[in-house]
Amino acid sequence: MILVLLGPPGAGKGTQGAKIVECCGVPKISTGEIFRDLAAAGTPLGLEARNYWSRGELVPDEVVVGLVNERISCDDCLKGFVLDGFPRTVRQADILAELLAGMVRKITGVLDFDVDPDQLVLRLSGRRTCPNCSATYHLTSRPPQVDGHCDHCGQSLVQRSDDNPESIRTRLVEYATKTEPLLAYYEERGLLHRIDANGSPDEIFRDLEPALVTMGCGS
């Protein structure tokens, strides 16, 4: 199963991706997470990428595609994988299709998480993440059990540096101009499943389970 998660920043791709991983037993590949880890480790590629993502801009296609190609060629991806945050441009989608064709594989389905624009800013500005295990929380709608600490590993939670008002604005514009055209792209190819992502994480997952079942995963 090769699944693509689409939707604007704050739509819940990471949260739902984690639930899908639990249910389907395939790894989730988050390009944003890979960039943050590489930057935290101080690698040249991570530091170069940070120049873009800290401002809310997309990292150039060439940089992202190389990383994704390397990651999806790993043995743990043989059964399938979930792409969270990739592709984000039509060019990336074309290259992904070519890479998969070279492996005699193809995308099983694309889930588009649809959310009211007002909700997005509220979700992003209250979001807190665990720098150790990448679990995500929200100050009001999904607080951790112990204030400021991850429920899973106890690490102190942080606010992503790009979850500030200026970067959020840029990210939403980048999404509207460069990523939204992928909805038509995947719809034309009969792969798109639209999910109403305005509810709570559990409600959203209940709505998307039927789509997972049609793609050969879930109960």
- Chain contacts with ligand AMP (rule: CB under 6 A): 9, 30-32, 35, 52-53, 56-59, 64, 85-88, 92, 162, 171
Burial class of residue 115 in the structure, from the number of CB atoms within 10 Å of its CB (0-12 exposed, 13-18 middle, 19+ buried): buried
Instruction: Report in angstroms how near the CB of residue 190 gets to ligand AMP at its nearest.
Output: 23
Omega of the bond prior to 87 within 30 degrees of 0, cis?
yes
Buried b or exposed e, range 198-219, using 16+ CB within 10 angstroms: eeebeebbebbbebbeebebee
**Would you say 191 or 218 has its CB closer to ligand AMP?**
191
Active site residues: 13, 88, 127, 160, 171
**Would you say 104 or 122 has its CB closer to ligand AMP?**
122
The residue number with the shortest CB distance to ligand AMP is 32
Residue 83: closest CA among 184, 179, 171, 200: 179
**Would you say 91 or 152 has its CB closer to ligand AMP?**
91
Q: Could you tell me if 118 and 133 are in contact, meaning their C-beta atoms sit under 8 angstroms apart? A: no
**Would you say 170 or 218 has its CB closer to ligand AMP?**
170
Instruction: Report in angstroms how near the CB of residue 86 gets to ligand AMP at its nearest.
Output: 4
Instruction: Report in angstroms how near the CB of residue 40 gets to ligand AMP at its nearest.
Output: 13
Instruction: Report in angstroms how near the CB of residue 33 gets to ligand AMP at its nearest.
Output: 6
Amino acid symbol at 108: T
